[in-house]
Amino acid sequence: MSAQGDRPLVAHGERPREGGPDRAEVAVAVGVLIRPDGDFLLTSRPPGKVYAGYWEFPGGKVESGETVEQALRRELIEEIGVTIGTVHPWRTQVVDYPHALVRLNFCKVYEWSGDLHMHEGQSFAWQRLPVAVQPVLPGTIPVLEWFAAERGFVGATHS
């Protein structure tokens, strides 16, 4: 697993940071579900949440005492109704959002069971590069760039 270091991606830098400059970093487990044809799953942020309507990879906060893998398994059952197989830790990215400082732990997942069911009122879309859904959450953009590099994709990964 390669890490991107501690240089955070700053989202909407013109906005004030809740909690100030010394706020705690929140660990988040993120599932990058990839079908055999290479398409990947994006879900929209549910109504009522920060960045509602933005598209992202599914996942959620790592609770106290959980590993990233345990959190990812729990979150994907809770959010989208699937039980995942082997988790492949991939990369990390720190994102400094106005509402939170998060360390996104991206994990590739190639096997899951169960039908997708959006338990939080969100939408889902299987995507390929360039993604068709908009707007894309700032923390999702690096993943699209990593996919582009891995797949030799030339052109914009998002608009």
- What pLDDT, in 10s, does the model give residues 36-94? 999 999 999 999 999 999 999 999 999 999 999 999 999 999 999 999 999 999 999 99
Q: Is 2-151 in CATH node 3.90.79.10?
A: yes
- 19 is written with which tokens? 């909690």
What's the rounded mean pLDDT across residues 138-148? Answer: 95
Q: Please report, for residues 29, 32, 33, 100, the alpha-carbon distance to residue 43 in angstroms, rounded to integers and kept in the order given.
A: 15, 11, 11, 20
Spell out the domain ranges in the chain: 2-151
Q: Give the global pTM.
A: 0.92
What's the rounded mean pLDDT across residues 9-20? Answer: 90
Rounded distance, CA 158 to CA 125, Å? Answer: 14
